[in-house]
Amino acid sequence: MSTRKSTQLYRRALKKIPGGVNSPVRAWKAVGGIPKFIRRGKGSHIIDVDKKKYIDFVASWGPLILGHANRSVLRQLEQVAKNGTTFGAPTEGEIKLAEAVCRLVPSIQKLRLVSSGTEATMSAIRLARAYTNRTKVVKFDGCYHGHTDGLLVKAGSGVATLGLPDSPGIPRGFARETLVATFNDVGSVEKLFYRYGKSIAAVIVEPVCGNMGVIPPAPIFLSSLRKITRSHGTLLIFDEVITGFRLTLGGAQQLYGIKPDLTCLGKILGGGLPLAAFGGQRKIMDLLAPEGPVYQAGTLSGNPLAVAAGLATLSLLSRQGIYKALEGRGKRLQDGFEDVLRKHRISATINRIGSMMTIFFGVEKVRNAAEARKCDRKLFARFFHGMLKRGIYMPPAPFEAAFVSVAHTMADLDRTIAAFDQWAAGET
């Protein structure tokens, strides 16, 4: 298999772009090797610059629930692009998208469109701080909310840890405003509230975690967060940048019946273009400028192309039976993989909810970040390359979700399971 062109491009990229990529995980540092440069995608497939074809389970890290180059999304983009790509003035599409989101996600009465998930979480937190007139934020070890300073913090050791920055360049003072709790552990949250309750502006959480691999919430976890935050006058922020429109049209909050105060959306919302949003109760959202004093802005916010792609995507997702079909495909993949694991006596656990799934090698249960970190990363790297060789493009890192899209056929999934079986046979 030739990788000549990818290798050439990677070398060229390294000279002008740090690490050769514009987002670190694309560089395959967790699995080794030289990243593939992609030439095009169609439906469930991508083709790299060396003309090798793969079934894609990265889906641009979540947005492409309809698969690549969906025809009706492209048609909308063409229509809109003809009339200009940006105005820095309001357009009707933005209202349509806002109305659609409010209809689908009832906890959102008003929202603002931004260009990335990072912007959405950053702005939601600024708003929560302004609304509560408090400074501290609780996040969970292993949850990712974009790369904004105060959220780039995970747990240090011990309980009730004050946040230490995950990256140089983040002042200690910023990180100190971030408190870190353990996902699925209500006690760890109660402890923080016992000590800091009066200064906690918000709890931000991925209601189904996708960024330490897929980890669903334990039965009373989310409802407990709702109860604790409400009783302390703290806002509950659901970061549904992955789960929004992925699990149901109303997101994880619909699935679990919990109403957060603020919600962050992204990825699928933009249908493959840069678009995200944050929204919630009217009385909170009306604090935003120009209605209120909390500043937030964006040159390309609500960009007409991104809005058109988002509207087209939501409209397709509103068809009957989509989420049932996605669940069926996710289940097929999980069942197939589990059969292979049993057959070859490979120890691993698969966490899946709907169309998002992670395989953790060498561990039995994964309910939080600490358990996720115990997985066998070396075996994952071999799995990744073994699958790649057989034409399957899995996420190039162990703590990520593999995404099934509407475009994956049962034949695609069977091919993927067969590739897994072949790889596993070689491992044992």
Ligand X SMILES: *Cc1c(COP(=O)(O)O)cnc(C)c1O
> Is residue 386 at the binding interface for ligand X, with CB under 6 A as the rule?
no
Question: Least CB distance from residue 306 to ligand X, whole Å?
Answer: 12
Contact 209, 246 (CB under 8 A): no
Please tell me the distance from the alpha carbon of residue 416 to that of residue 404, in angstroms, as a whole number: 11
Neighbours of 116 (CB within 10 A): 18
> Is residue 140 at the binding interface for ligand X, with CB under 6 A as the rule?
no
Please tell me the distance from the alpha carbon of residue 385 to that of residue 193, in angstroms, as a whole number: 44
Q: Which stretch binds ligand X (CB under 6 A): 117-125, 287-295, 322-330, 403-411?
A: 117-125
Nearer Cβ to ligand X, position 91 or 121? 121
> Is residue 137 at the binding interface for ligand X, with CB under 6 A as the rule?
no
- Annotated catalytic sites, by residue? 144, 239, 267
> Is residue 211 at the binding interface for ligand X, with CB under 6 A as the rule?
yes
Nearer Cβ to ligand X, position 206 or 261? 206
Please tell me the distance from the alpha carbon of residue 195 to that of residue 197, in angstroms, as a whole number: 6
Residue nearest to ligand X (CB): 117
Residue 275, phi-psi category: left (phi > 0), alpha (psi -120 to 50), beta (remainder): beta
Q: Which stretch binds ligand X (CB under 6 A): 80-88, 138-146, 247-255, 402-410?
A: 138-146
Question: Least CB distance from residue 342 to ligand X, whole Å?
Answer: 31
Please tell me the distance from the alpha carbon of residue 161 to that of residue 192, in angstroms, as a whole number: 9
- Out of 28, 144, 183, 245, which residue is the one contacting ligand X (CB under 6 A)? 144
Please tell me the distance from the alpha carbon of residue 63 to that of residue 117, in angstroms, as a whole number: 11
Residue with tokens 């004050």: 162
Contact 38, 393 (CB under 8 A): no
> Is residue 116 at the binding interface for ligand X, with CB under 6 A as the rule?
yes
Nearer Cβ to ligand X, position 203 or 276? 276
Please tell me the distance from the alpha carbon of residue 30 to that of residue 28, in angstroms, as a whole number: 5
> Is residue 266 at the binding interface for ligand X, with CB under 6 A as the rule?
yes
Please tell me the distance from the alpha carbon of residue 360 to that of residue 243, in angstroms, as a whole number: 20
> Is residue 145 at the binding interface for ligand X, with CB under 6 A as the rule?
yes
SS3 401: coil
Nearer Cβ to ligand X, position 114 or 392? 114
Cα atoms found within 13 Å of the Cα of residue 358, Cβ hemisphere only: 32
Question: Least CB distance from residue 198 to ligand X, whole Å?
Answer: 27
Q: Which of residues 11-70 bind ligand X (CB under 6 A)?
A: none
- Out of 56, 206, 400, 412, which residue is the one contacting ligand X (CB under 6 A)? 206
- Out of 6, 76, 107, 118, which residue is the one contacting ligand X (CB under 6 A)? 118
Question: Least CB distance from residue 358 to ligand X, whole Å?
Answer: 13
Contact 106, 258 (CB under 8 A): no
Q: Interface with ligand X by CB under 6 A: which residues? A: 116-118, 121, 144-146, 206, 210-211, 239, 241-242, 266, 276
